[in-house]
Amino acid sequence: MRKNILFFLVALSLLVLSQALAQASFYARPLGLQTSRMKGEDVYSVQSYLLNAGYPEVGELDRIYGPRTWQAVINFQEMQGIKGDEKGTVGPNTWVAMFYSGRIQAPIFSRALQLQNPRLSGVQVRSLQQRLLELGYREVGEADGFFGPKTQAAVSAFQKRLANVSGLKVRTDGVMDGVTWANLFSDFAPEKK
């Protein structure tokens, strides 16, 4: 009886620890099946998430993006109806589906958003402005749906904070790329201090 309780407590502790580690990871690159297997903490985060979300086909939490992880990602994408990322690849949209449970619905990332003339506008811009405001990046002004100089400044401030907190080498020029998007809409997006 004691062995069963001890085993249960150890298993529960490992589950909680794996979830905590998964939450501590930042999105740095698209993850997919390659001849030279991708390895790292981001792979572990995805594997841990999938296992905890009911995708046992992911197999061992070995931090290696192999065929089993690839298949589990495909199954997850199909079950969640994820669009915009290549089948079996953890791109910005799949990452957000895994690691974001917020109030603002994150639209599909389809292209980089940046300051240009005429100004970009639409649902994606408004969503990123709302998320920036939620995280305390007030330099964005208001969520008007237009990507202007204030939005660029807020994105740049977020990118600098992300680089500082995560240690990732990310762009800090105010261009909303896939890496910035996935981290902005993750549950562990750094708030402005």
Cβ 132 vs Cβ 154: under 8 Å = yes
Q: Are 95 and 27 in contact (CB under 8 A)?
A: yes
Q: How confident is the model at residue 105 (pLDDT cuts 50, 70, 90)?
A: confident
- The pLDDT score that the predictor gives to residue 113 is 97
pTM for this prediction: 0.84
Instruction: Give the pLDDT confidence score for residue 25 in this predicted structure.
Output: 84
Determine contact, residues 43/70, Cβ cutoff 8 Å.
no
Confidence of residue 145 (pLDDT cuts 50, 70, 90): very high
Q: What is the pLDDT of residue 3?
A: 67
| Average pLDDT of the segment spanning 133-151 | 97
For 111, the token pair is 């292209």
